[in-house]
Amino acid sequence: MIQGILHPQIQDGWPWKADVWSTVFNWLLRLDPKVENGRYELQSFNMFATIMEYDTIPRNLAKFESHQEFVDLHYTLAGQEEIDWHPVAGLTPAGPFEEDLQFWLNPTHGWGTLAQIPGRFAVFLTDDAHRPKVSSGSKSVKKVVVKIHRTHLLV
């Protein structure tokens, strides 16, 4: 898991393929926060963004999830939420793995919590479980989730 604040020089010094992060971060930097919800292709089906708005919920109602094929980058446009993070290792599946989505039973301890506010992003790799939508002083959040196929990150 990686967390940061978006700014024009953000991709400088990233350890992975610079063209992938340049594409994503430059697209996010140009994004109008009033953009319509929906799916936006950044690079065919291998890299796309979904803009969404939803109400946050209590932590005990939110679910941990992870993905095997795509890395998630969550970027907050408006409102705020907390996203909990936990390594996949040691978690118990809450059901079958379907369409690059695995839900996990909520652990009783051991997670970290990220405060997501406008301008902040978090990257969740394939071995990172994350629990979005957690209430944190805001009833709703507007955000972007960029899906980057894992092959884009192989060096």
DSSP, collapsed to helix, strand or coil, labels residue 97 as coil
Lowest mean pLDDT among 9-18, 41-50, 92-101: 9-18
The answer to whether the CB of 6 falls within 8 A of the CB of 144 is: no
Alpha carbons 37 and 54: distance in angstroms, whole number: 11
> Phi, psi at residue 95, to the nearest 5°?
170, -170
Alpha carbons 129 and 12: distance in angstroms, whole number: 26
Categorize the per-residue pLDDT at 93 as very low, low, confident or very high, splitting at 50, 70 and 90: very high
Walk me through the domains of the chain, giving residue ranges and CATH numbers: 2-153 (2.60.120.370)
Q: What is the pTM of this model?
A: 0.92
pLDDT tens-digit map of 129-148? 999 999 998 799 999 999 99
Question: Does 80 have pLDDT greater than 70?
Answer: yes
